[in-house]
Amino acid sequence: MSRVLPAGVLLAATSVWIASAQTHVAVFTAFDENPSPVSVAEMKAETARILRSAGLLLDWRPLGQRLAAEAFGGLAVMRFKGVCRADKFQVPFGPLDRESEKEPVTLGWTAVRDGRVLPFSEVECDQIRNALGPMRLAQRDLLLGRALGRVVAHELYHIVAQTAKHGRAGVAQPFHTPDDLRRDAASFEEQDRAAIFRQRGPVPPSLR
């Protein structure tokens, strides 16, 4: 049975967005442990693909790197908790245990303070890895990266759109099944892309 998994519980964020055809967003990352290079590369590619449709270009930086005189339309900090790699595990990932199946699990969240949402998120690698269930050994790091990218895109949606609301479907929906994390394609619904565009300037006619 597929489990329903929330991609975020504390949502949205603050920033000032520049109205332009494309907005560059600096995403600062920090990992509890050294991640899989394959998973990280796939995560970045998947996140970029999803957000490109909303006119956002991502510039990934390690947390602590200075921006110097560079200008960005927005900033976000993503901390990755747990183990973001598959090669430490000698057997294919198994399903969640029976106790954890009874309740949804949090895959990622974004901080809120005094009613204001902040551009600081955490991504739960262990929960995501377990949620994916059994996979072929050769695919594990790639599929883990794809799932990470979709959770990151979900959290960035709240940050860049400056909204606590969820979409009805797609990446911005509040709950995601293992199939949602693993399937070949994922994207925002048009109304969710429009929510991002509204923070950056006039909404393109196709998204009104």
Rounded Cα gap, residues 175 and 91, in angstroms? 28
Q: How many domains does the chain have?
A: 1
User: pLDDT-derived band of residue 72, with 50, 70 and 90 as boundaries?
Assistant: confident
Interaxial angle between packed helices 140-161 and 37-52, expressed in degrees from 0 to 180 and rounded to the nearest 10: 40
The closest alpha carbon to 154, from 44, 23, 8, 39, belongs to 8
Task: Report the range of poorest mean pLDDT among 6-20, 87-101, 187-201.
Answer: 6-20
- The predicted pLDDT at position 105 comes to 85
Q: Tens of pLDDT along 159-192?
A: 888 888 888 999 989 989 889 998 898 999 898 8
Q: Check residue 200 and give its pLDDT.
A: 61
Reference 46, options 146, 182, 177, 187; nearest CA is 146
Query: Which residues make beta-bridge pairs with 58?
Result: 25
Domain span at residue 127 reads 5-207
pLDDT at 205: 44
At 156, the pLDDT band (50, 70, 90 cuts) reads: very high
The residue type at 201: G
Instruction: Answer yes or no: are the C-beta atoms of 171 and 157 closer than 8 Å.
Output: yes
Q: How many whole angstroms separate alpha carbon 93 and alpha carbon 29? A: 25
Residue 116: which CATH number? Answer: 3.40.390
Digit-coded pLDDT (tens) for 49-63: 999 988 889 999 999
Write down the pLDDT at residue 161.
85
Provide the mean pLDDT of the chain: 78
- Residue 194 has a pLDDT of 86
pLDDT at 163: 82
Pairwise CA distance, residues 61 & 178, whole Å: 29
From residue 48, give the alpha-carbon distance in Å to each of 17, 32, 85, 154. 18, 23, 20, 12
For the entire predicted model, the pTM comes to: 0.80
The DSSP 8-state label assigned to residue 17 in this structure reads -
- What CA–CA distance (Å, rounded) separates 109 from 8? 4
pLDDT at 92: 46
pLDDT, position 19:
42
Tens of pLDDT along 90-147? Answer: 444 444 444 444 567 899 998 877 766 789 999 999 999 888 887 777 788 999 999 9
